[in-house]
Amino acid sequence: MVSEDKSGQFNRGLRAFRSGDYQTAVELLSDAVEYEEQNDRAWNALGTACAKIGRYEDADLCFENALTLAPDNPIYVKNRKTNVKHLKNPPLFSEKSGKTGLFDHIPFDKIPIDKPLVLIGIGAGLIIIIVLTLFGVLSLFSAPAAQQGPGIVLSVNQSGTDIILLNEGGREIKSVSSFSWKVNDIPIGSGKPDDPGTLSVTSGSIAVAPLSSLTSTNLSAGLRVMVIATNKDGSSSVVLSTTLPPPAPGTIPIQPVTPVATPTHPPNLPLFKSGEIIQDTSSHMWWLIATTPVNDTYVVTHAARLPNGTFTSLDSTTTNISFISFEPDKISIGTRDSGGTPAGLSSVLPPPVIGIPATHPQPAYTSGDLINSAPTGDDGMMVILGYDPITDQYQADTISKYYTGEWGYRLNTTPKWFIRPILEQQLSHRPGRITMSDIGIGADSAPPRTPVKYVPGDIISPNPSGVEREIVIIGYNKTDDQYQIDTIASAYDGGWKMAGTPTWEKRVFVERNNPYKLRKIDLSLVRS
């Protein structure tokens, strides 16, 4: 027999069988027995897969081949005995060996040897039996052809600019509560009955996936279609997995691109006028256009915002600068008397402000306050990081929730400065608070005070049934907050086998993408 590590199709067939994809298992195991006809385990596995999709006649041939190679294997005997019950014309069956030996059932001691004509008839019958047996032996070494099982019958094809999925019924279709499907890993349909992309459990129903919804994927590599059936008992399994040829170039819709008009200005005409406040989008510095531009030149001075939202010149120094040098990366945010837009500088220091009244109201918020324009809701939530009483400004930043629903993390370490009365007026609600030490930096930071969820030996998956994949935790690095993981699958003999390509990944990604722990195993017993 060919060992597991040399029989690639055999191992892939077993993985497909364990995932519930019996049709694919039949195809892979058929290749395995054609590659090595003496592999009794492959014949037995192929028979079991054929039986799962209702091909009992083919399954009987496979079990008979397995018993021919390993006549004393009790598992093969039991499998064939179970399968014989489903045959329309079951053969004579030996409980001990699992074989259907006709000669063992012929009463040779009762043959009338004194009657020549009877002997001739018996001889002719034996010759016919021998000839039929020879034909049967020759057929043993031809793997049964792969065909669609009668349980759940689906078909998929490309028609024009659409991919059509057809429900053709099947004897097990009544056990299905819903279907979900993907093309090139893109989910199709919302699951709602009136959605054209949703496949109904009613025989004859269709679902449509426009090619235009897949243009973000590599269509030149083909169209990988996977359909998962969710049964009424809560279990799920892959009922169709196939790849369609790449669509013809003419069938791929070209997304219309709306041209963005580029503003143009007559030469030698200024973009900005006297009294406008200009912000440098690269440095976030404010400038005041001090006088009317003349001779292709601006007269500018640094500007600062007052607590009431208006602007003033920061000092009496002015600078002359040409239109062509000043205008790039500059935008107008209003006039010196209209206040401009809120938001501050990217510096960790508050922007300079002059003209603050000697006394002003105390700040309404303190560090750690979560503030918003509405009493509830997550959109636009900000966290107060500090307050500078000299300039009467808050230091704050946008905050987002972790995947666990907890607050929260900032995208980066750069805070923003806001004039106190403007911020308190625009964000007048305080839905909650957060401890400053619990604020993370970046979406890949771990939620605050969350313990490590998994330990070495845990087998985890994106879904509770492990249909798509199973991952085993090999180790955890506390310093880097990373898991060492590898894909794993159950071996045919009941053990476990890893893919042998372990990787390190951020804990937050592993726990977020694989929320289900299926079981725990002893890593010392796992083969790689």
pLDDT, one tens digit per residue, over 359-370 is 667 888 999 999
pLDDT at position 300 is: 93
In terms of pLDDT, which residue wins out, 232 or 98?
Answer: 232
To 5 degrees, how large is the angle CA 396–CA 511–CA 378? 30
To 5 degrees, how large is the angle CA 498–CA 504–CA 506? 125
Q: Is the pLDDT of residue 49 over 60?
A: yes
Quote the CA–CA distance of 409 and 402 in Å, as a whole number: 7
Distances (CA, A) of 293 to 16, 263, 290, 316: 75, 20, 9, 18
Nearest by Cα to 239 from 501, 19, 3: 19
Q: How confident is the model at residue 98 (pLDDT cuts 50, 70, 90)?
A: low
In terms of pLDDT, which residue wins out, 113 or 239?
Answer: 239
To 5 degrees, how large is the angle CA 168–CA 172–CA 177? 85
pLDDT single digits (tens) 65-84: 999 999 989 999 999 999 98
Q: How confident is the model at residue 354 (pLDDT cuts 50, 70, 90)?
A: very low
- Token pair 């030490």 is found at 437
Quote the CA–CA distance of 116 and 217 in Å, as a whole number: 79
Kindly report the pTM of this predicted structure: 0.31
Helix 40-52 to helix 22-35 angle, to the nearest 10 degrees? 150
Nearest by Cα to 487 from 477, 478, 474: 474
Helix 74-84 to helix 40-52 angle, to the nearest 10 degrees? 30
Quote the CA–CA distance of 352 and 304 in Å, as a whole number: 6
pLDDT at position 4 is: 45
Q: Is the pLDDT of residue 348 over 60?
A: no
Structure tokens at 426: 């625009």
pLDDT (average), residues 315-331: 87
